[in-house]
């Protein structure tokens, strides 16, 4: 069957050559179009590393010294620290709230702001990591519902007294095993600092995959918001209507006041609006091109198939079944698509080796590969495979639908129509 299909392609080499040229051009366009879409769709499907559902955020601001409401007595660091704890405790005691914690600055999952540091992975290897600040014993890990890989549970971490020399990291599997329980050097490469707990990788930004994160001890006075979790049995709409009014009246302590109360998912949405718009534009563009390519390529093969009635009649007169004729034509299309994708991907490879394949921005890539798109070889093969599959489906549709009707008519009728 395959040999006969190849003979038919060669016998119609002039027409097959034009089809092949068209398919090569389509393959190159699809490679360029589908590469970012495949990677970003995969990134969006990855878990966040924390639970943002039922998570809410009280944005806290501080009166400036020029404000008439500014209290000089509440401007000291110790007073500011205590006042921020009072705000957090009041939120945590509010009916319907499961737990509450601090958001330090904008160093938080789902934000656009990133703080990058480095740690000595080994004696000779320094690796960049994202940093997230947290206040010890503030129910931080419990509120965000991080998942522990090694070491204490989130509840146990929230009860621990940390001295500042311990590492709490997201797990990264090195060639000789996990990092939990290891001792790492400080930035100067002098002091030994133990890894006391590891968590699942966290999406520090929604347009990049879960990354290596180091959780660093901070003071409550540096908080920009109180993040709290509602109990699962509480209706969010009814809760927020009452809570916003209560927060405006009861959470003004010292120079701190409430500027906004919103869900954490909305906070993420505000932070990643440009990412969603960019992804939506790519999706619309891809759908438009796929629509055009589908009708263009499948229509070409449809017309080619319809023009071969005489050949179908001859094959049927020699005893070929409808199924055998259909498989023969599909094998011809498969052969053309396979050769076209190989040629198109080889051409696209030259561009990829010069400009690189698509990678999400602002990634701290580890020397050890975590995701398939970080490996050039695997990345290129997956994109090529998806392009090949799409083109096979499009061409098969253009062959199968007309063949389904033509191959079932009598040989004399097929020859008569010709």
Q: How many whole angstroms separate alpha carbon 325 and alpha carbon 148?
A: 58
Q: What percent of the chain has pLDDT over 70?
A: 81
**Looking at the predicted structure, is the pLDDT value of residue 7 above 80?**
no
The 10 Å Cβ neighbour count of residue 20 is 18
Alpha helices in 148-224 (DSSP H): 154-159
Mean pLDDT of the region 1-9: 53
- Strand ranges for 51-189 from DSSP E: 55-62, 97-104, 116-120, 126-134, 148-150, 167-170, 183-185
> Residue 198: pLDDT above 80?
yes
Dump pLDDT digits (tens) for 95-144: 999 999 999 988 888 877 777 777 777 777 777 788 899 999 999 999 99
- How does DSSP classify residue 177? B
So what's the pLDDT on residue 55?
Answer: 94
Helix (H, G, I), strand (E, B) or coil at 133: strand
- Distances from the Cα of 135 to the Cαs of 119, 216, 217, 335, in angstroms? 21, 8, 6, 62
Strand partners of residue 57: 227, 262
- Residue 191: is it exposed, middle or buried by C-beta count within 10 angstroms (0-12/13-18/19+)? exposed
- What's the pLDDT tens digit per position in 152-194? 899 999 998 887 678 888 887 666 677 787 787 766 666 778 8
Q: Reply yes or no on whether the pLDDT at 226 is more than 60.
A: yes
Nearest to 360 by CA among 224, 208, 240: 208
Residues 385 and 85: their CA atoms lie apart, in Å, by: 55
Residue with tokens 């016998």: 11
Alpha helix (H) ranges present in 94-194? 140-144, 154-159
Task: Write phi, then psi, for 196 (nearest 5 degrees).
Answer: -90, -15
Q: How far, in whole angstroms, is CA 284 from its chain's centroid?
A: 18
Query: Which string of DSSP letters, residue by residue, matches 225-251?
Result: EEEEEE-TTS-HHHHHHHHHHHHHHH-
Angle 298-301-307 (CA atoms, 0-180°, nearest 5)? 140
Task: Tell me what pLDDT residue 19 has.
Answer: 80
Which residue carries 């409430």 as its tokens? 258
Q: What is the pLDDT of residue 86?
A: 94
| Cα separation, 82 vs 85, whole angstroms | 5
Q: Which residue has the tokens 């989130």?
A: 154
| Non-local CB neighbours of 178 within 8 Å, separated by 6+ positions | 149, 150, 171, 172, 198
pLDDT at 347: 93
**Residue 105 is encoded by which pair of tokens?**
């600055």
**Tens digit of each residue's pLDDT (9 = 90 or more) over 55-92:** 999 999 999 888 888 888 888 889 999 999 999 999 99
Share of the chain above pLDDT 90, in %: 26
pLDDT digits (tens, 9 = 90+) for 240-273: 989 999 998 899 998 899 999 999 988 888 766 6
Structure tokens at 64: 């400036």
What does pLDDT average to over the chain?
82
Q: In what order do the strands lie in the sheet with 97-104?
A: 97-104, 223-230, 55-62, 256-263
- Give me the pLDDT at residue 261, please: 92
Q: Is 267 in contact with 73 (CB distance < 8 Å)?
A: no
Q: Residue 96 CA to chain centroid, in angstroms? A: 32
Residue 416 has pLDDT above 60, yes or no: no
Distance CA 352, CA 21 (A): 21
Burial environment of residue 240 by CB neighbours within 10 A (0 to 12, 13 to 18, 19 or more): middle
pLDDT digits (tens, 9 = 90+) for 332-344: 788 888 889 999 9
Calculate helix-pair angle for 273-306, 264-271, nearest 10 degrees: 70
> Does residue 278 or residue 306 have the better pLDDT?
278
For residue 406, what pLDDT is reported? Answer: 67
Distance CA 59, CA 201 (A): 26
Looking at residue 331, its pLDDT comes to 79
pLDDT digits (tens, 9 = 90+) for 285-330: 888 888 888 877 777 776 776 666 666 666 666 566 666 777 777 7
Pairing of strands 148-150, 192-199: antiparallel
**Exposed, middle or buried: residue 205 (CB in 10 Å: 0-12, 13-18, 19+)?**
buried
Main-chain dihedrals φ then ψ at residue 177, nearest 5 degrees: 125, -175
DSSP 335-351: HHHHHHHHHHHHHHHHH
Token digits of residue 129: 């990591």
- 415 pLDDT more than 60: no
Q: What phi and psi values does residue 122 have, to the nearest 5 degrees?
A: -135, -175
Residue found by looking up tokens 């998806």 in the block: 386
Choice among 214-223, 355-364, 387-396 with the minimum mean pLDDT: 355-364
Q: Where are the domains of the chain?
A: 2-47+273-417, 55-271
Residue 237 has pLDDT above 80, yes or no: yes
pLDDT at position 243 is 92
pLDDT of residue 291: 84
């Amino acid at each position: 069957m395959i040999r006969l299909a190849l003979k038919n392609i060669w016998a119609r080499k002039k027409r097959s050559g034009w089809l092949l040229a068209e398919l090569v051009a389509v393959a190159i366009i699809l490679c360029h179009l589908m590469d970012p879409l495949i990677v970003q769709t995969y990134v969006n499907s990855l878990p966040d590393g924390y639970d943002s559902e039922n998570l809410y955020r009280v944005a806290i601001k501080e009166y400036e010294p020029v404000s008439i409401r500014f209290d000089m007595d509440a401007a000291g660091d110790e007073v500011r620290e205590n006042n921020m704890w009072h705000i957090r405790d009041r939120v945590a005691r509010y009916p319907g709230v499961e737990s509450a914690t601090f958001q330090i600055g904008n160093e938080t999952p789902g934000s656009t702001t990133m703080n990058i540091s480095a740690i000595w992975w080994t004696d000779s290897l320094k690796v960049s990591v994202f940093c997230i600040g947290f206040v010890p014993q503030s129910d931080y890990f419990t509120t965000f519902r991080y998942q522990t890989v090694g070491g204490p549970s989130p509840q146990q971490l929230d009860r621990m007294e940390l001295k500042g020399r311990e590492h709490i990291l997201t797990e990264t599997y090195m060639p000789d095993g996990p990092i939990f329980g290891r001792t790492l050097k400080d930035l100067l490469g002098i002091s030994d600092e133990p890894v006391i707990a590891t968590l699942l990788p966290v999406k520090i930004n929604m347009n990049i995959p879960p990354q290596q994160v180091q959780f660093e001890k901070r003071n409550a006075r540096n908080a920009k918001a109180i993040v709290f979790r509602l109990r699962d049995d509480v209706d969010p709409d009814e809760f927020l209507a009452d809570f916003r009014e209560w927060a405006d009246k009861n959470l003004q302590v010292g120079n701190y006041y409430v500027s906004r109360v919103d869900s954490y998912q909305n906070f993420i949405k505000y932070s990643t609006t440009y990412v969603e718009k960019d992804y939506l534009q790519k999706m619309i563009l891809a759908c438009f091109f796929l629509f055009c390519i589908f009708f263009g390529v499948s229509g070409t093969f449809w017309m080619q198939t319809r023009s071969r009635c005489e050949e179908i009649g001859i094959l049927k007169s020699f005893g070929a079944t409808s199924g055998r004729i259909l498989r023969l034509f599909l094998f011809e299309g498969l052969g053309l698509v396979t050769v076209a994708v190989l040629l198109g991907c080889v051409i696209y490879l030259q561009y990829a080796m010069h400009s690189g394949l698509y990678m999400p921005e602002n990634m701290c890539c580890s020397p050890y590969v975590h995701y398939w798109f970080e490996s050039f070889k695997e990345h290129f093969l997956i994109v090529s495979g998806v392009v090949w599959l799409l083109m096979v489906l499009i061409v098969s549709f253009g062959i199968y639908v007309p063949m389904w009707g033509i191959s079932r008519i009598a040989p004399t009728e097929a020859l008569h129509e010709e």
